[in-house]
A = this chain, B = another copy of it.
Amino acid sequence: MKKHNFNSGPSILPQEVLQQASEAVLDFNGIGLSILEIGHRTSWFVEVINEARALVKELMQLGEDYDVLFLQGGATTQFMQVPLNLLDKDAAAAYCVNGIWGDKAVKEAKIFGNVNVVSSTKDKNHSYIQKDFSVPSDNVYLHYTSNNTVEGTQWHTTPNTNLPLIADMSSDIFSRPVDFSKHSLIYAGAQKNAGAAGVTIVVVKKDILGKTNRNISPIMDYRKHIEADALLNTPPVFAVYVSILTLRWIKKEGGLVEMEKRAKERADLLYSTLDSLPVFAPIVAKKDRSLMNATFTTHNKELENLFLEECKQQGMIGVKGHRSVGGLRVSMYNAMPISSVQALVDLMIDFNRRNG
């Protein structure tokens, strides 16, 4: 039985992407070699990485002033690599902290320079987004997390700032049109909406690079990766390939506009159910709710466990909240069919009737 996969990441991928990826592991494009066996400097792979880089730009409608990299190390490594490349020891960067990922980004940045937490929503357990705050004009960038995977909040507008804007879009990249060109750097682990675990997409506006005095380790230097056409060292070949399959799928299905439409349908169905049923209560302020990750609670811990048990029985996985916050969480990424959300909603209605 195919499961209903509400995992927060690694998470659901389109079935046709899985099919194509599985075939490529046996024979890549009929060349008589597995995708796992081809050199990264062969024309076979160079075509893959070039198409991947071009597709990212196309979906984001970005021009020549941007470059796209497919790096390793996860978004967590970007928490480090961003300040390493951009933040001098004596300089300061501004961070919006809306949850545990923003918090970790701050911890890494502090190793490299000064950090201004210009906005924190910790006062209310990060159950909302604070959109008004001021940023010292001498800060070198403003960093925010566009979608808070753990807490279930999302920025529905891009932060307004004159500073170079940097976004951790790990959990909502390619799920909606955004004015990407307002950003100077965007990064995302691929394992939600953009492929499998093991590759991190970094989109960087080239004019922000090369401005620190730091002697940056070559392998950590964005410029070195750009100069090497994204082949500075062996890239995670298979993970890049899964990303390209996923990006092709997004484009074919109608691009980011269509992804957003589907995300809204799924989220509307789920949140309206949560709002209407007495047993369930969404955690996040209505206007800041994430279209990707819905967090909610039940009356008490026993009901929660009972509900989780029933989900499990019906093949619905990943419904448990993140270990740092508890409660319940349902993740609904691009590849999630509305039928899975409908099945969950049906269970919720029935569960509410029996336990209300």
Q: Residues of A at under 8 Å CB distance from B?
A: 1-3, 5, 7-13, 18-19, 21-23, 25-26, 31-34, 36-41, 72-77, 79-80, 84, 107-108, 111, 189, 191, 196-199, 215-220, 232-239, 242, 315, 317-318, 323
Contact = CB atoms under 8 A, between A and B. Distances in A.
B36 A217 contact: no
A84 B232 CA distance: 20
A112 to B, nearest CB: 8
Contacts of A31: 3
Contact of A5 (B2, B33, B236): B33
Copies of this chain, whole number: 2
A199 B234 CA distance: 10
Contact of A197 (B73, B107, B234): B234
Contacts of A40: 10, 197
B197 A199 contact: no
Contacts of A75: 233
B13 A34 contact: yes
A81 to B, nearest CB: 9
Given A33-B5, A198-B72, A39 B22 contact: no
Contacts of A38: 7, 10
Contacts of A198: 72, 198-199, 235-239
Nearest to A32: B3
A318 B220 CA distance: 29
Contact of A2 (B21, B32, B72): B32
Contact of A238 (B19, B233, B239): B239
Given A199-B198, A237-B197, A215 B111 contact: yes
Contacts of A5: 33, 37
A218 B39 contact: no
A77 B81 CA distance: 12
Given A22-B22, A41-B323, A108-B219, 9 more contacts: A2-B32, A2-B33, A10-B37, A21-B36, A72-B74, A72-B77, A73-B73, A198-B238, A198-B239
Nearest to A23: B22
Contacts of A235: 197-198
Contacts of A234: 9-10, 74, 76, 189, 191, 197
A216 B84 CA distance: 12
Nearest to A198: B236
